[in-house]
Amino acid sequence: MTALLDMDELLDTLEQGVRNMLEIRGVDNPAIIGIRTGGVWLADLLGKRLGMTEPRGELDISFYRDDFSRIGLNPRVRPSSLPFETEGRDILLIDDVIMSGRTIRAAMNEIFDYGRPASIMLATLIDLGARELPVQPDVTGKALSLKADQRVKLKGPDPLHLELREASQP
Amino acid sequence: MSVSSQPSRVKIVGGTLLLPDGQLQAGPLLIADGHISAVGAAAEGAGDATVINAEGCIVSPGLVDLWCNLREPGDGQKGNITSETRAAAHGGFTTVCASPETSPVNDSGAVTHLIRDVSGSRSPIRVLPIGATTKGLEGELLSDMAGLVRAGCVALANGRGGFRDARVLHRAMAYARTFGITLMLHPENQALAADGYAHDGRITTRLGLLGIPEVAETTAVMEMLLLAEETGVRLHLAQISCGRSVQMIAEARQRGVNVTADVAMHQLLLTEEALSGFDSRFHVRPPLRSEADRQGLLEGVRTGVIGAIVSAHQPHDTAAKQAPLAATEPGLSSVESVLSMGLMLVERQELSLSVLLQRLTAGPAAVLGRKAALEAGAIADICVFAPQERWLADSASLVSAGHHVPVVNHALHGVVRLTMVGGRTAWPSGYP
Amino acid sequence: MTTPQPSPDSVQLTADGQLRHFLTLDGLSRELLTDILDTADSFIEVGERAIKKVPLLRGRTVVNLFFESSTRTRSTFELAAKRLSADVLNLDISTSATSKGESLSDTLLNLEAMASDMFVVRHAQSGAPHFIAASVTPGVAIINAGDGRHAHPTQAMLDMLTIRQHKGRFEGLKVAIVGDILHSRVARSQICALNTLGVEEVRVIAPGTLLPSDAEHLGCTVEYDMEKGMRDLDVVIMLRLQKERMQGALLPSEQEFYRLYGLDRSKLALAKPDCIVMHPGPINRGVEIESAVADGPRSVILNQVTNGIAVRMAVMSMAMGGQVTERVSRLGEGQP
């Protein structure tokens, strides 16, 4: 419910971080993959800012979640789409928020089922900490620490904005 | 009768009596030496009688069932004469006709004697055996009808076995005519019924069940009516299920054919829709039919074309009903629920209480050439029940070995307080 | 009037409306059928990957319980289960237990001991999967792979997926189903699905002996004359004609059936120019369909096989998902 965070500023930080990382790693033509839904919006924006011409991929990780035995199948699952070969590619994986790290684990498992990439780099807009798996983003727009009852969610795609709300609110 | 040492004079007070003319009237009933000695005002002031308080109850002649499977002789898995006659007494019945569909089939005087002997020592109510029309109910060779009649069969039937062809049926009728015995036949054209097990209609079409078309019954009814007319046999059509059959029977009676008919209580309450969840309890024969048929049957009961309502009680062990629908055995364990189901019809104003009770007492008795009436001099076969009281048909309350009852998880109206046979208590044991 | 009955849909749905079994399409909402189709679309994409497998049912055991043998259907269920990472056990009961007189209840008791999570059931008797669903321990999902004349819901859903792929919609479509409607579980499920998904008209085309009584009650129009029935069609679905129908006085001969109800080029020419031809297979060439039509440009028969695996993956994972969430709420472990 708040606009404390300036989206343009965050995106600038994220873009700059990604550029630095690509330069350090010597990667000039990464394949961009966004995790549905927020990660795909970000992948579109970043792709444009980085001047990428290749279409970005999108992942729906519903079939790879590790909590199927608790919550069953997401009824809104849609096909993943990777319009390029992943075998041997450098992948830039993008998501809006990282917390436990479980989504990223699922996404990496899914990417490998398309073919073995040369490398995967991870960029997230927000890092909330509270990791449950040893998965760290290479680039983050901002690290936030929320109170136990707070949640943050990326809304979009136009305009893209972050929504912070109390968990008790509907 | 197994219960002994009853007081010689019993007065039932506070109840509403079903009088022979169908009127319901408050008043006492006096019983002496196994007979009704006075009804209503005439019973007032009788001195030294044991008094039974029947406040809030209906006092009716004992119920009479024209078709009840007692499962004896048999292997005992599905019940026996002891369990099923006690169940019938719990249901308010004082007389049941024992179906010949036993193992071995009641197609000889020896089996009839066995049924009578066992009933005589173990049944709290009257058991009237029905013999088989053909040997083994196979529909080919005539049974020893004279022997069956001599041994005490009150009618001959062929159950679901049917007849090989119209010629066997014709001859069975002509032979039965010789002894003046009633043929109690279940009309079903077996070629048309084929492998079916449900009413051929909306539900069979939707669920892909194998249907028994109405014409399987109506063509058989027509054939039986014409052959009965020709042979002059006393014909009773058992457990009809189609509205059209009622019309054909009414027409035959108008032209003087000596025919009566009955319907199973569940046919008056339920329709084909009961099978929409594949519930094997409602696999019955003939099948539960359409709402239009149910209406036609009710009309037949109201007008008297259908003179009797039967239980068609068929107790089963669990395994018989524990399979996909087509592989289950037909039949409901209904003798304890018949009265309560009837009261549901009264509650819905589909039958009057008076008509309901007549079709369960005087109507079936008349088919057997007997009477069932609360009148001075009659045998004291009596049922006292509380129509507003409720009970649940479950394993705790049911007496029958079969627990596949028509209504479950739903409190039923009508608790039988007392079933009296020849002045002795048949239910509950030891009452009062 | 009847006493209250559990309707088939209440058996197969959880309290919050998810699938827990998949027994029939009767009573399922358009939203749920659309979810199945959408989920199947996602599984089609999985089938195009280098590794055609997702971990959804990893560690779970799926038992193919075929009381009536069908290698084709069983294979697609097996492949679907394996692509969901499940362990699969194939039991061809038609040749084992029941022929030794063991009752279905007894067979099930034995299978329960194997701690299975899902039974895929094919049975010759209508309602057998309902019976099994009512008898098994809670937590075990039952998928109907065809029961008697009653239902073949996965087949119908893969046909719906095929129609959606080719037509992009259901609204406004005119669809005919031709042939042995009476004995067909596929036709019953298709009619149900087409109506739920909102096509304009479902037409059944058959001779009187191959139609159930009250066929209109299923939600279709009835046409005896195929040439009339082909007009304005967007989709024509041909049913397989079993040879045994020539016995029992249902039909005089295959030749006469083909002449009247077989789909050949001249009859197909009466439909819309973009009308697609479907057949649940296996095809009887020259009995219900002309080879040139079955192999022709309007035929989408092969497509249907690919879709079969995806649809089965969808309903298996959805029903298993319904079972696990139900188990979680049963155990009262809803909190994080």
Q: What would the pLDDT profile of A131-140 be if each residue is shown by its tens digit?
A: 999 999 999 9
Average pLDDT, integer, range B286-297: 98
| Interchain proximity C215–B278, CB inside 8 Å | no
Three-state DSSP state, B30: strand
Helix B243-254 to helix B291-303 angle (10° resolution) is 30
Q: What is the CATH number of the domain that holds A122?
A: 3.40.50.2020
Selecting from C2, C147, C150 the residue whose C-beta is nearest the C-beta of B271 gives C2
Q: Which of residues 19-38 of C touch A (CB under 8 A)?
A: 35, 38
Residues with Cβ within 8 Å of residue C326, at least 6 apart in sequence: C14, C15, C20, C138, C139
- Whether B342 and B200 map to the same domain: the answer is yes
Task: List the domain range (segments joined by +) for residue B105.
Answer: 62-367
Strand partners, A155: A161
- Residue B132, pLDDT above cutoff 80: yes
Assess if residue B357 is contained within a domain: yes
Q: Which of residues 114-133 of C touch A (CB under 8 A)?
A: none
Scored b (16 or more CB within 10 A) or e, B259-293 reads bbbbbbbbbbbbbbbbbbbbbbbbbbbbbbbbeeb
Give me the pLDDT at residue C97, please: 52
Assess if residue A85 is contained within a domain: yes
Give me chain B's average pLDDT, please: 95
Q: Which residues of B touch C (CB under 8 A)?
A: 200-202, 204-211, 213, 269-271, 273-274, 276-280, 291, 294, 319, 322-327, 348, 406-410
Q: Which of residues 279-318 of C touch A (CB under 8 A)?
A: 317-318
Give me the pLDDT at residue B7, please: 58
Give me the pLDDT at residue B3, please: 44
Of chain A, the percentage scoring pLDDT greater than 70 comes to: 95
Assess if residue B306 is contained within a domain: yes
Structural domains in chain C, sorted by start: 8-151+306-331 (3.40.50.1370), 153-301 (3.40.50.1370)
Give me the pLDDT at residue B6, please: 55
Q: How far is A78 from chain C (nearest CA, A)?
A: 5
Task: List the domain range (segments joined by +) for residue A35.
Answer: 7-166
Q: Cα(C55)–Cα(C53) distance, rounded to whole angstroms?
A: 7
Q: How far is CA C274 from CA B386, C167, C228, C268, in A?
A: 71, 9, 18, 10
Assess if residue A1 is contained within a domain: no
Residue C159: CB atoms within 10 A of its CB come to: 28
- Residue C187, pLDDT above cutoff 90: yes
Assess if residue B80 is contained within a domain: yes
- Whether B273 and B410 map to the same domain: the answer is no
- Whether B213 and B313 map to the same domain: the answer is yes
- Number of structural domains (chain B) is 2
Instruction: Name the band, by pLDDT with cuts 50, 70 and 90, for residue C4.
Output: very low
- Residue A162, pLDDT above cutoff 60: yes
Q: What would the pLDDT profile of C99-156 be if each residue is shown by its tens digit?
A: 555 677 777 877 777 788 999 999 999 999 999 999 888 899 999 999 999 999 999 9
Strand partners, A19: none
- Number of structural domains (chain A) is 1
| Interchain proximity B201–C185, CB inside 8 Å | no
Instruction: Name the band, by pLDDT with cuts 50, 70 and 90, for residue C7.
Output: low
Whether chain C has a CB inside 8 Å of the CB on A81: the answer is: yes
Instruction: Name the band, by pLDDT with cuts 50, 70 and 90, for residue C9.
Output: low
Average pLDDT, integer, range C248-275: 94
- Whether B13 and B156 map to the same domain: the answer is no
Whether chain A has a CB inside 8 Å of the CB on C44: the answer is: yes
Give me the pLDDT at residue C107, please: 79
Q: What is the CATH number of the domain that holds B251?
A: 3.20.20.140
Q: Cα(C248)–Cα(C264) distance, rounded to whole angstroms?
A: 27
- Whether B91 and B124 map to the same domain: the answer is yes
Instruction: Name the band, by pLDDT with cuts 50, 70 and 90, for residue B144.
Output: very high
Chains that touch B (3 or more CB pairs under 8 A): C
Average pLDDT, integer, range C195-215: 96
Assess if residue B119 is contained within a domain: yes
- Whether B50 and B69 map to the same domain: the answer is no
Q: What would the pLDDT profile of B230-276 be if each residue is shown by its tens digit?
A: 999 999 999 999 999 999 999 999 999 999 999 999 999 999 999 99
Q: Cα(B317)–Cα(B330) distance, rounded to whole angstroms?
A: 12
Q: Cα(B29)–Cα(C260) distance, rounded to whole angstroms?
A: 75
- Whether B145 and B247 map to the same domain: the answer is yes
Burial environment of residue C89 by CB neighbours within 10 A (0 to 12, 13 to 18, 19 or more): middle
**Cβ atoms of B68 and B313 closer than 8 Å:** yes
Q: How far is A64 from chain C (nearest CA, A)?
A: 6
Residue B135: closest CA among B164, B113, B114: B164
Assess if residue B404 is contained within a domain: yes
C26: nearest CA in chain B? B206
C18: nearest CA in chain A? A75
**Cβ atoms of B253 and B307 closer than 8 Å:** no
Instruction: Name the band, by pLDDT with cuts 50, 70 and 90, for residue B425.
Output: very high
Give me the pLDDT at residue C295, please: 93
- Whether B165 and B307 map to the same domain: the answer is yes
Instruction: Name the band, by pLDDT with cuts 50, 70 and 90, for residue A3.
Output: low
A70: nearest CA in chain C? C325
C323: nearest CA in chain A? A72
- Residue A100, pLDDT above cutoff 80: yes
Instruction: Name the band, by pLDDT with cuts 50, 70 and 90, for residue C2.
Output: very low
For residue C142, list chain B residues with Cβ-Cβ distance below 8 A. Answer: none
| Interchain proximity C218–B200, CB inside 8 Å | no
Assess if residue A35 is contained within a domain: yes
Q: Cα(B56)–Cα(B299) distance, rounded to whole angstroms?
A: 29
**Cβ atoms of A115 and A86 closer than 8 Å:** yes
C48: nearest CA in chain A? A114
Whether chain A has a CB inside 8 Å of the CB on C69: the answer is: no
Token pair for residue A16?
């700059």
- Residue B430, pLDDT above cutoff 50: no
C42: nearest CA in chain A? A79
Average pLDDT, integer, range B74-97: 96
Q: What would the pLDDT profile of C47-102 be if each residue is shown by its tens digit?
A: 999 899 999 999 999 999 999 888 889 999 999 999 999 999 998 776 555 555 56
| Interchain proximity C217–B206, CB inside 8 Å | yes
Q: What would the pLDDT profile of B338-352 be if each residue is shown by its tens digit?
A: 999 999 999 999 999
Residues with Cβ within 8 Å of residue B51, at least 6 apart in sequence: B10, B11, B13
**Cβ atoms of A80 and A29 closer than 8 Å:** no
Give me the pLDDT at residue C95, please: 59
Three-state DSSP state, C329: helix
Q: What would the pLDDT profile of A21-56 be if each residue is shown by its tens digit?
A: 999 999 989 999 999 999 999 999 999 999 999 999
Give me chain A's average pLDDT, please: 91
Whether chain C has a CB inside 8 Å of the CB on A64: the answer is: yes
Q: What would the pLDDT profile of B17-62 be if each residue is shown by its tens digit?
A: 999 999 999 999 999 999 999 999 888 876 788 999 999 999 999 9
Give me the pLDDT at residue C306, please: 81
Selecting from B207, B319, B410 the residue whose C-beta is nearest the C-beta of C103 gives B319
Assess if residue A141 is contained within a domain: yes
**Domain-terminating residue out of B318, B338, B367:** B367
Q: Cα(B182)–Cα(C261) distance, rounded to whole angstroms?
A: 52
Give me the pLDDT at residue C192, please: 97
Give me the pLDDT at residue C101, please: 59
Assess if residue B432 is contained within a domain: no
- Residue A143, pLDDT above cutoff 50: yes
Token pair for residue A34?
């966004």
Q: What would the pLDDT profile of C313-331 be if each residue is shown by its tens digit?
A: 999 999 999 999 988 888 7
Burial environment of residue C28 by CB neighbours within 10 A (0 to 12, 13 to 18, 19 or more): buried
| Interchain proximity C50–A87, CB inside 8 Å | yes
- Whether B178 and B262 map to the same domain: the answer is yes
Amino acid at C260: L
Q: Cα(A19)–Cα(C52) distance, rounded to whole angstroms?
A: 34
Mutation to test the C interface, candidates A33, A70, A71, A73, most C Cβ within 10 Å? A73
Region for A103 from its dihedrals, namely left if φ exceeds 0, alpha if ψ lies in -120 to 50, beta otherwise: alpha
Strand partners, B130: B155
Scored b (16 or more CB within 10 A) or e, A21-34 reads bbeeeebeebbbbb
For residue B77, list chain C residues with Cβ-Cβ distance below 8 A. Answer: none
Selecting from C53, C324, C333 the residue whose C-beta is nearest the C-beta of A113 gives C53
| Interchain proximity C50–A77, CB inside 8 Å | no
Assess if residue B372 is contained within a domain: no
Instruction: Name the band, by pLDDT with cuts 50, 70 and 90, for residue B107.
Output: very high
**C and A: touch, per 3+ CB pairs < 8 A?**
yes
Lowest mean pLDDT among B142-151, B358-367, C236-245: C236-245
Query: Could you report the predicted ipTM of this complex, rounded to two decimals?
Result: 0.91
B324: nearest CA in chain C? C128
- Whether B43 and B66 map to the same domain: the answer is no
Give me chain C's average pLDDT, please: 90
Give me the pLDDT at residue C1, please: 39
Give me the pLDDT at residue B431, please: 44
Q: How far is A24 from chain C (nearest CA, A)?
A: 31
Assess if residue B120 is contained within a domain: yes
Token pair for residue A145?
């620490």
